[in-house]
Amino acid sequence: MKTNFKDYWIESQAFLHPERTAVIYGETSISYSQLMFASENLVKKISPDRALNGKIVFLACGHDIQFIIYLLALWKTGAIVFPVSSKIKKKEIESLITEFGDQIFICDNDFEIPATMNKMILQNEFDFNETNLTDSQYNGVSLIIGTSGSTGKPKGVLHSYESLFSSFIAFRNLRHNSPAPHLWIASLPFHHIGGFSIITRTILAGDSVIIPENNSTDGLLVTLIEKSPDYISLVPTVLEKLVSSKLEPTCRKTKIFLGGAKSKFQTVKNADKLGWDIELVYGSSETGSMICSVHSSDSEFTEGFIGKPLPGIEISVVGNDGKSLESGEKGKMLISSPTLFHGYFVQTKNLTESFQKNEFLTSDLGWKDSNDSFHLVGRADNLIISGGMNIDPEEIESLIKSIPGVADCAIFPVNDDYWGQIVAAIIEPVKNSSLGKDNVLQLLRTNLSGYKLPKKIVFSEKIPRTDLGKIIYNNCLAILREDEEPDYF
């Protein structure tokens, strides 16, 4: 049995800790040895001749043990796993074919997929009995993550076992000092890098993970309070619910990793007052999840502050010419890290320029302070250019969210024949609020130059967002089209 963690993940833990609990789902609990043998036995069913080696396999599992067993089995075959939502629609599958070609699709029997794709039916029962192990090493590209882009057209981010392992190594200094096993809650979707990384961190550390049977916000918070895990990753919308519900930790050991989208400073401080141990993290699909962090109790923590890079990761701020800027100067964040992705599945000129020489030039705008800590101020690709003027949507969003009666809002561009682009705002009011457009415009006119004002304001019961809280641009446009008032202020 191999025990080299870098090359043999599940095998090493199964050898060292065979009876240790790996995964808990409802009343079901499986050990590391059971997890290893279940995945090995599954290999014999789905790819006994290793025909999946090097193939891209879309995996449409639910949020349960099934996903982890299939993932490990597919990796043993040498397949490149592309996790997708189990709720993916036929039109979205057709979009995947357009971007990535006809590939193998593993899903439930009732899934509708085009006839050109090779469909494999998910199995719900697994053989946990001991079996002979095949020799499998973890090397090369192993994972494709569809970025949680707001345009509805995700890019395929390529990761290897090496980049995923490096991400775990960088993360280790954020772990508790007490020895493993620690307990995680699988709180984020597995088809996002944040949720997927919970699996890899759990296995590489020999930890245990609870997969909630009810993965809604309410179900997640119930699991958090009842199970008191060592770690849980949350997005800002869930933290908002936690704070508004005034939930307090049942013990001090639970560390919350907060990321995925911009967090409200006051919400974080309110959670801090309730007694929650919060680590704000910065990262993306391309960086292999978190690469920078700051604790909410840090005296330097302010709006947009993301702290220092994790060990082995370098961040610099560069100008349009690619040269490093001095402290205090705003530019794009340039990442150099062994956790970085290996490129995009479909390269274009701009994407290739973003990833060169083991560096990744993000679209995040930020600056470095005199203590070598970093601050985010927005995104270069989020700028709205209207009549030749650059407009930062986050400035407008922050003002609107400060208005009493506003629960949420989204600011985004709409193409316009005259202006090039105009600013549009969709506002989600607090229930039973009497908030009107005049209230919003009054505050904005007092605080913003005229060219920054939204030309279109629409109220909606809910802002369309991804699982990680990012606005879904196409759905926002649809809400605008449904609005019958053609106001341009």
**196 in the same domain as 103:** yes
Give the model confidence (pLDDT) of 58-88 as tens digits. 999 999 999 999 999 999 999 999 999 888 8
What does pLDDT average to over the chain? Answer: 88
**393 in the same domain as 352:** no
Give the model confidence (pLDDT) of 424-433 as tens digits. 999 999 988 8
Confirm whether 297 is domain-assigned: yes
Of the residues 334, 368, 402, which one is the last residue of a structural domain?
368
Confirm whether 489 is domain-assigned: no
Range of the domain at 33: 9-368
Give the model confidence (pLDDT) of 166-184 as tens digits. 999 999 888 888 888 999 9
**417 in the same domain as 314:** no
Of the residues 345, 368, 391, which one is the last residue of a structural domain?
368
Of the residues 324, 341, 368, which one is the last residue of a structural domain?
368
Average pLDDT over every residue of 476-486:
80
**188 in the same domain as 75:** yes
**354 in the same domain as 434:** no
- Considering only the C-alpha atoms of the chain, give the largest distance between any 2 of them, rounded to a whole number of Å: 72
Q: How many domains in the chain?
A: 2
Count CB-CB contacts under 10 A for residue 224. Answer: 24
Angstrom distance (rounded) from CA 357 to CA 339: 13
CA distances to 62, 74, 79 from 68, rounded to whole Å, are 10, 10, 14
Q: What is the pLDDT of residue 260?
A: 82
Confirm whether 278 is domain-assigned: yes
**132 in the same domain as 244:** yes
Give the model confidence (pLDDT) of 129-180 as tens digits. 999 987 765 668 899 998 744 444 557 999 999 999 999 999 988 888 888 8
Burial of 119 (0-12, 13-18, 19+ CB in 10 A): middle
**254 in the same domain as 398:** no
Q: What is the pLDDT of residue 468?
A: 72
**48 in the same domain as 177:** yes
**360 in the same domain as 390:** no
**213 in the same domain as 327:** yes
Confirm whether 2 is domain-assigned: no
**391 in the same domain as 260:** no
Q: What is the pLDDT of residue 347?
A: 44
pLDDT band at 219 (very low <50, low <70, confident <90, very high): very high
Count CB-CB contacts under 10 A for residue 314. Answer: 11
